[in-house]
Homo-oligomer: A and B are copies of this chain.
Amino acid sequence: MVALDVGGTWLKGAALARDGTALTSLSRSTGAADGPEAVIEHILDALVEVRDHPATGQPAAVGLAVPGIVDVAAGRAVWSENLRWKDVPIRALAEERTGLPVALMHDVRAGGLAESQVGAAAGHANVLFVPIGTGVAAAIIVDGRILDGQGMAGELGHVDVGHTEPCACGGAGCLEAIASAAAIARRYSARSGIQVTGAADVLARKQAGDPDAGEVWAQAVDALALALAIACSLLAPEVIVLGGGLAQAGPELFKPLSAGLSHRLTFQRHPRLVPATLGDRAGCIGAGMMAQALIDKRAETGG
């Protein structure tokens, strides 16, 4: 299969064997600054380039993961703030350009599918995959199936965790506005007057004993514990996989977050909290799995 994960910054492509082995891979700028038309061209060019690579062989399908709101049934990229596109018939465009059937998927759900099947939560039917970076997103797997909700399920970043800071969505109190990597950096700078490059910088200052950094970090962890506990009540995950930049923090994140989550849960299932294992290839691997599922389904129905 040909697989491509379209991120706000990078296109990650690969040709994958049936068992998921990468035969060749590609990584390049999405070119979001050039506007949505250019992004679409870059996507289609990348798909053709992977399709035509000598190592790819004869691919049977394409898996394409895109960000924002995605209407999988209609094959349309409805909206993406990062890519500034709106209602793009991306599946039809990709099928036309590649001559192959295309499985379209939301990027976070593609990553969640991969982590739940061949990554950190392999073997589990009830999984929450939470990438934390510029924002906070979630892919929800229950009873072995990934929730779509017509492209709108999984907005963990906009769960109200009870603070008063405004969120880019227009609301207030959102998890993302206090616990994303970007929010941690922004809130530390606002509090201390010191500009930082990101959440890793805040963590380093916390470890060096900066009380502002310690407070901002603790507030983020508390908010995450609350939001994850809520998700546990509603969805009963066996495993919660944390991904994205913030998951790189290791024990400084996982230890207090596990403790906070355990403290908040009573009769609910207590999930294992683990870091993602597929890194920034998760979306691409998930897209490949969707392409394989499309091939299998067509073989089954003779279509």
Q: A160-B230, A162-B162, A230-B230 are in contact. Are A169 and B267 (CB under 8 A)?
A: yes
Chain A residues within 8 Å of chain B by Cβ, number = 39
Stretch among A25-33, A146-154, A184-192, A276-284 lining the B interface: A146-154
A149 (CB) vs chain B CBs: closest residue? B236
A292 to chain B, nearest CB (A): 20
A156 (CB) vs chain B CBs: closest residue? B234
Q: In whole angstroms, what is the CA distance A267 to B174 when docked?
A: 12
Q: A156-B234, A158-B268, A160-B230 are in contact. Are A149 and B171 (CB under 8 A)?
A: no
B158, B159, B230, B235: the one contacting A153 at CB < 8 Å is B235
Q: Flag whether A170 is at the interface (Cβ < 8 A).
A: yes
A151 to chain B, nearest CB (A): 8
Q: Which residues of B contact A125 (CB under 8 A)?
A: 150
B143, B154, B160, B264: the one contacting A264 at CB < 8 Å is B160
Q: Flag whether A37 is at the interface (Cβ < 8 A).
A: no
A8 to chain B, nearest CB (A): 17
A247 to chain B, nearest CB (A): 20
Q: Which residues of B contact A152 (CB under 8 A)?
A: 236, 268-269
Q: In whole angstroms, what is the CA distance A169 to B265 when docked?
A: 9
Q: Flag whether A93 is at the interface (Cβ < 8 A).
A: no
B147, B148, B234: the one contacting A231 at CB < 8 Å is B234
Q: Which residues of B contact A160 (CB under 8 A)?
A: 226, 229-230, 264
Q: Flag whether A142 is at the interface (Cβ < 8 A).
A: yes
- Per the 8 Å Cβ criterion, residues 260-278 of A in contact with B are 264-269
A234 & B236 in contact (Cβ 8 Å cutoff): no
A79 (CB) vs chain B CBs: closest residue? B267
Q: Flag whether A145 is at the interface (Cβ < 8 A).
A: yes
Q: Flag whether A296 is at the interface (Cβ < 8 A).
A: no
Among all A-B residue pairs, the 5 with the closest Cβ atoms: A149-B236, A152-B236, A170-B266, A155-B233, A169-B266
